[in-house]
């Protein structure tokens, strides 16, 4: 038995020298969220807003797709431990690292964001990962959260004396809000950092709010109303895989009206349907969307843009896992095709239409 005096001495000494000091990630900078919830830091829509959404959107909005923790530290080793809201760690066509894992990136002077490593989940509760990042002084990090699972708790650890400091958040008016389908949510990237909206964020040095909802990106009026409450530099609408031509005809104009009422001049960018067969372009639903956008432009609605889907997946058929959902290669092709067009729009050089 340890004497009481000795036990008190052990407790007063604090953690062992090699035991990390843990920081609740919710106290750091969280980017990529919709409306902020004090009680649910790692969701895209809070409970009060989920109550207004279609059931499928409400369920998927607790997935942490696109969320990232931003911080600075001089630690030479970074530890992470996290628990998930669902025991389903993977899918038949998407690995656990993408569905339920974490990705750590570091900003490198002159090189942008560089991949450090992936936290691999093995269970629902108490997953852990350690990343050796080496010495080099205080540097900025981005920890991307799971794409198809929710996070119930998340802590980041560093050695005593190597503090974790939050990075100044991006002004809301500078971010991109990306509304879409399972492809936007991240299906089927091998890890969170490879979802194409996330890649776009690194390419454009912008915060991206990922509002991709698997099977449920349908220009719903409830989602349109929620998006209209989010200030942004641009709204990207990429919903065609989940819609019919008739739904596009019925819902595109009300979506634009909702956004224009709240944000009269902010660019609204409509993305054409991706397809792994080059000869399929433009698809029927892409033509329907383009016609609806052009009709609104002729009515005098400003700031509407079209981006063709023809080169989002390349022309070799190698960019998907199933003919629809991109692999990492397909995700990178999406981002590479979209980035220069979005950059031109954000810089005011997009012209009337971007094809």
- Overall average pLDDT of the 119-133 stretch: 98
Cβ distance 155 to 297 under 8 Å? no
Whether 4 maps to a domain, the answer reads: no
32 and 73 belong to one structural domain: yes
- Which of 119, 139, 166 is at the close of a domain? 166
φ, ψ of residue 107 to 5 degrees: the values are: -80, 125
201 and 340 belong to one structural domain: yes
Whether 5 maps to a domain, the answer reads: no
> Quick one: pLDDT at residue 17?
52
pLDDT tens readout for residues 285-326? 999 999 999 999 999 999 999 999 999 999 999 999 999 999
- Overall average pLDDT of the 48-73 stretch: 97
157 and 306 belong to one structural domain: no
Q: How many domains in the chain?
A: 2
190 and 107 belong to one structural domain: no
DSSP 22: E
Domain limits for position 292: 172-346
Q: What CATH number did the domain enclosing 159 receive?
A: 2.60.120.260
192 and 329 belong to one structural domain: yes
In percent, how much of the chain has pLDDT > 90? 89
184 and 156 belong to one structural domain: no
Question: Does the pLDDT of residue 16 top 70, yes or no?
Answer: no
- Which of 128, 149, 166 is at the close of a domain? 166
Cβ distance 82 to 144 under 8 Å? no
Give the SS3 label for residue 127: strand
Burial call 201-211: b when 16+ CB within 10 Å, e when fewer: bbbbebbbbbb
Nearest to 164 by CA among 25, 40, 32: 25
Whether 99 maps to a domain, the answer reads: yes
83 and 201 belong to one structural domain: no
Sorting pLDDT into bands at 50, 70 and 90, what band is 38? confident
52 and 125 belong to one structural domain: yes
Angstrom distance (rounded) from CA 129 to CA 119 = 5
Q: What CATH number did the domain enclosing 264 receive?
A: 3.40.50.1110
188 and 150 belong to one structural domain: no
Backbone CA torsion sign across 49, 41, 231, 212: negative
pLDDT tens readout for residues 177-213? 999 999 999 999 999 999 999 999 999 999 999 999 9
φ, ψ of residue 210 to 5 degrees: the values are: -85, 110
pTM equals 0.94
């Amino acid at each position: 038995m340890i004497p009481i005096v000795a036990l008190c001495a052990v407790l007063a000494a604090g953690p062992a020298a090699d035991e990390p000091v843990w920081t609740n990630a919710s106290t750091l900078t969280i980017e990529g969220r919709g409306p902020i919830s004090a009680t649910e830091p790692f969701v895209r829509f809070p409970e009060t807003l989920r109550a207004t959404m279609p059931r499928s959107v409400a369920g998927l909005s607790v997935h942490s797709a696109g969320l990232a923790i931003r911080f600075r530290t001089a630690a030479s080793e970074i530890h992470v431990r996290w628990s998930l809201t669902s025991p389903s760690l993977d899918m038949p066509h998407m690995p656990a690292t993408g569905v339920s894992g974490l990705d750590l990136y570091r900003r490198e002077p002159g090189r942008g964001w560089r991949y450090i490593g992936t936290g691999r989940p093995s269970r629902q509760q108490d997953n852990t990962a350690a990343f050796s990042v080496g010495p080099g002084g205080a540097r900025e990090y981005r920890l991307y959260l799971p794409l198809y699972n929710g996070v119930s708790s998340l802590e980041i650890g560093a050695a005593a004396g190597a503090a974790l400091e939050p990075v100044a958040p991006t002004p809301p008016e500078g971010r991109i809000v990306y509304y879409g389908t399972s492809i936007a949510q991240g299906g089927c990237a091998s890890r969170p950092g490879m979802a194409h909206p996330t890649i776009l964020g690194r390419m454009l040095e912008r915060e991206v709010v990922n509002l991709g909802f698997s099977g449920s990106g349908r220009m719903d009026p409830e989602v349109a109303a929620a998006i209209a409450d989010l200030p942004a530099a641009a709204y990207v609408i990429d919903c065609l895989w989940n819609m019919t031509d008739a739904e596009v005809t019925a819902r595109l104009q009300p979506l634009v009206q909702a956004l224009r009422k709240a944000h009269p001049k902010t660019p609204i960018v409509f993305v054409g349907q991706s397809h792994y067969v080059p000869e399929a372009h433009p698809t029927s639903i892409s033509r329907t969307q383009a016609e609806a956008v052009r009709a609104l432009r002729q009515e005098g609605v400003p700031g509407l843009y079209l981006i063709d889907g023809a080169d989002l997946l390349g022309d070799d058929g190698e960019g998907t896992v199933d003919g629809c959902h991109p692999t990492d290669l397909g995700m990178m092709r999406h981002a590479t095709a979209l980035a220069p067009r979005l950059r031109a729009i954000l810089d005011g050089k997009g012209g009337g239409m971007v094809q």
